[in-house]
Copies of this chain bind each other. A is one copy, B any other.
Amino acid sequence: MPDKEQRPFGQLIPYEEALSTVLKNVHPVKRKESVDLDDAFQRVLAEDVTSDIFVPPFERAAMDGFAVKAEDTFDAGKFDPVTLEQTGTLHAGDAPDEEVGNGECIQIATGAPLPEGADAVVKVEETEKKDGQIAIYDPVHPGENVSPKGEDIEEGERILDKDMSLTSARIGSLAAIGVQKVKVYEKPKIGVIPTGDEVVPVGDELEPGQIYDVNSHTLSSVVRNNGCEPVNKKVVQDSIEGLKKEIENEVEEMDMVLFSGGSSVGDKDILIDALDSMGEVIFHGVKLKPGKPTLFGKVKDTLVIGMPGYPTSCLNTAQRLIKPALRKMSRLPKSVERTTKAKLQKRITSSLGRQQYMTVKLDEDKAMPVYKQSGAITSMSRADGYFEIPENVELVEKGEEINVTLY
């Protein structure tokens, strides 16, 4: 009975199959660039990093006190100090030029280089100035209160590996060896292209029949938050020629192309036809709710994805299917979600045969569904997180404990 001009979906594929297909078809970025150390946070290293220096670069005092020959202190005791002659003072940053001889000591600050001749530091608490001499009340062994040269990092040591993402601590390791510029992978470029004759940019005045472009903005934030760079384009009108021209331009420059808008099968037809004639359609329709009408194709080895038009469907699909792809492309580690357990406050029925994501608002350990209807972006924006209802579950009872993934 279907009208041939408007095609329904083909066979919906399960979410897991869609995800593995997407991941199989995206490739980690290979292009590299150099960035300043302070811009490298959360970027991904494009080379192993080996140290040219020792850290610390010299043997240094680990405590404030006096640099000594340890053997000079062996006879010291709480009530029977040994006395040494202070021949100098070393602050952090000083280059030592004096040697510590037998019976001598040099006052030293934490972090200052240990002078020649000394092999230990007596803590200041165990000493006393007495008639111009230094009384030592506790013996030290060689090496005591001294940080050896290279204690943290040896010269020639590999401190970080290619493909590591740069945490605060790793930024710190790079700083410790004096790195100012870091070789990282470029951020993959993702074309974000709104489509639909009814869609207009925010800031414009709405004419009758028009709505604002929501998906470009939500998609850009997901793209940016997962190590990639969104390249936002103007709205493309629903014509096969316009779409083909746009795809031709984009696949040259982008690592992935996301079309959004065109809210259902009717509009998708044009994208299907464009992909069919320029490359291939890989799948169309996923057992995901919200998020069924996703179209996934390839032109010249670049993925071209038609996202669902409804804002919640588009965003849920972005988080379930596109985010893992973005992280693979940008070489970021898989995202570990933050979850919490809560008691569902309302009985929920679900669609058999589609993996459903239900948004909830949390009040301590109580979870209240905030689902409005499939198009309603407000249902997601009021939510604190969501829980999954598997494909084969139709009903979740009030009071049941659920696992909420936090936004």
Contacts and interface: CB of A to CB of B under 8 A. Distances in A.
Interface string A138-168: 0000000001000111000001100000011
Interface stretch (A20-28, A324-332, A346-354, A377-385): A377-385
A381 B169 contact: yes
A202 B172 CA distance: 11
Given A96-B209, A167-B381, A174-B202, 13 more contacts: A38-B220, A94-B197, A94-B198, A95-B209, A110-B263, A110-B265, A152-B375, A169-B380, A169-B381, A172-B377, A173-B381, A175-B202, A336-B338
A341 interface: no
Nearest to A213: B175
A64 interface: yes
B221 A203 contact: no
Contacts of A74: none
B129 A93 contact: no
B309 A111 contact: yes
A127 interface: yes
Given A147-B375, A263-B111, A2 B209 contact: no
A10 interface: no
Interface stretch (A50-58, A280-288, A388-396): A50-58
A92 interface: yes
A91 B238 CA distance: 10
A195 to B, nearest CB: 10
A369 to B, nearest CB: 15
B377 A198 contact: no
B8 A125 contact: yes
Interface in A91-120: 91-96, 109-113
A337 interface: yes
Contacts of A180: 202-203
A240 interface: no
A113 B263 CA distance: 13
A202 B91 CA distance: 21
A212 B177 contact: yes
A264 interface: yes
A177 B55 CA distance: 55
Interface string A206-238: 111111111111101110110000001000001
A190 to B, nearest CB: 14
Contacts of A277: none
B152 A377 contact: yes
Given A57-B211, A381-B160, A172 B1 contact: no
13 contacts: A6-B64, A38-B221, A57-B210, A57-B211, A64-B266, A92-B238, A110-B265, A151-B375, A151-B376, A152-B372, A172-B381, A178-B202, A178-B212
